[in-house]
Amino acid sequence: MKIIRVKDKAEGSKKAFELIKAAIENGATTLGLATGSTPEDLYKEMIASDIDFSQMTSINLDEYVGLDGSSPQSYRYFMNKHLFDAKPFKQTFVPNGAAADLEKEAADYEEIVDRHPIDIQILGIGHNAHIGFNEPGTHFEATTHVVDLTESTINANKIYFDKVEDVPTKAVSMGLASIMKSKEVILMAWGEGKADAIAAMVNGQQTEEVPASILQNHADVVVIVDEAAASKL
Ligand code: GLP
């Protein structure tokens, strides 16, 4: 893993943007995208740039079960608002959390991942070192699947909902094996709350209890961390 330490989120987001820009100049056509507060400034950089994404494909990591794209808390809505409305892509994939048959949705989504190999995957990280919605204990071999969210994740995400009871308890998420298929990974983390997860991912033992530790096996991972998130490295 290559670790890039930056002062803050603004500097780190610019750094991530430069890496994506270079990858696109080198022929990348498919971006793996993430939601959450971590990539928000990166998407602002992408919107402010003169890069034309209209021939590119994006594949998002995950979606809440039970929310369709018109729900403001859905990840489809988040992506439209934070990136796609301003910068259209040729095609954008986000799992359908409102699908009647979620197992089929997950299997179909993995086929999408296989049909459009991801050149560069953007990741944030949860406080418990989850990536996508792969909670501790998820098998490293898992492909896209239906996930039960942990209490820690539900609590972390309740700020986006009126009350904690409104936070979905399940999601459809690309699995750890799906994420490992991408050619290059950029994982970003800002703030002290991520310091333990970053230390466990980088220096800890590789274990399914620390989902992000699977990335120790990936050949091309860049970790961009601000001072607070790097404080336990
Ligand atoms: C959610 C998302 C992850 C994200 C994580 C951290 O669980 N599924 O993709 O990395 O939250 O969120 P934030 O960036 O808001 O800290």
pLDDT tens for 35-66 read 999 999 999 999 999 999 999 999 999 999 99
159-197: pLDDT as tens digits: 999 999 999 999 999 999 999 999 999 999 999 999 999
pLDDT for 64? 97
Q: Are 176 and 139 contacting, i.e. CB atoms less than 8 angstroms apart? A: yes
Residue 232, in any domain of the structure: no
The alpha carbon of 117 and the centre of ligand 1 are apart by a number of angstroms equal to: 22
pLDDT for 212? 98
Backbone dihedral region for residue 129 (phi beyond 0: left; psi -120 to 50: alpha; all else: beta): left
155: confidence class by pLDDT, cuts 50, 70, 90: very high
229 lines ligand 1 (CB under 6 A): no
pLDDT for 138? 97
Strand 145-148 to strand 30-33: parallel, antiparallel, or no bridges (unpaired)?
Answer: unpaired
The alpha carbon of 40 and the centre of ligand 1 are apart by a number of angstroms equal to: 11
125 lines ligand 1 (CB under 6 A): yes
Residue 231, in any domain of the structure: no
pLDDT for 200? 98
pLDDT for 170? 97
Question: Taking residues 10-34, what's their average pLDDT?
Answer: 97
Burial of 79 by CB count in 10 Å (0-12 exposed, 13-18 middle, 19+ buried)?
Answer: buried
Residue 233, in any domain of the structure: no
Residue 152, in any domain of the structure: yes
Residue 112, in any domain of the structure: yes
Distances (CA, A) of 142 to 47, 106, 146: 33, 11, 10
Number of domains, the chain? 1
217: confidence class by pLDDT, cuts 50, 70, 90: very high
Handedness of CA 71, 73, 79, 84 (dihedral sign): positive
The whole domain housing 39 covers 2-226
228: confidence class by pLDDT, cuts 50, 70, 90: very high
Active centre residues (catalytic): 62, 128, 130, 135
pLDDT for 128? 94
d(CA 233, CA 220): 19
Average pLDDT score, the chain = 97
Question: Taking residues 194-208, what's their average pLDDT?
Answer: 98
Q: Give the residue, out of 9, 13, 33, 35, with the most ligand 1 atoms within 8 A of its beta carbon, to mutate for a pocket test.
A: 35
User: Residue 39's domain is classified under what CATH number?
Assistant: 3.40.50.1360
Residue 211, in any domain of the structure: yes
pLDDT for 60? 98
pLDDT for 81? 98
106-150: pLDDT as tens digits: 999 999 999 999 999 999 999 999 999 999 999 999 999 999 999
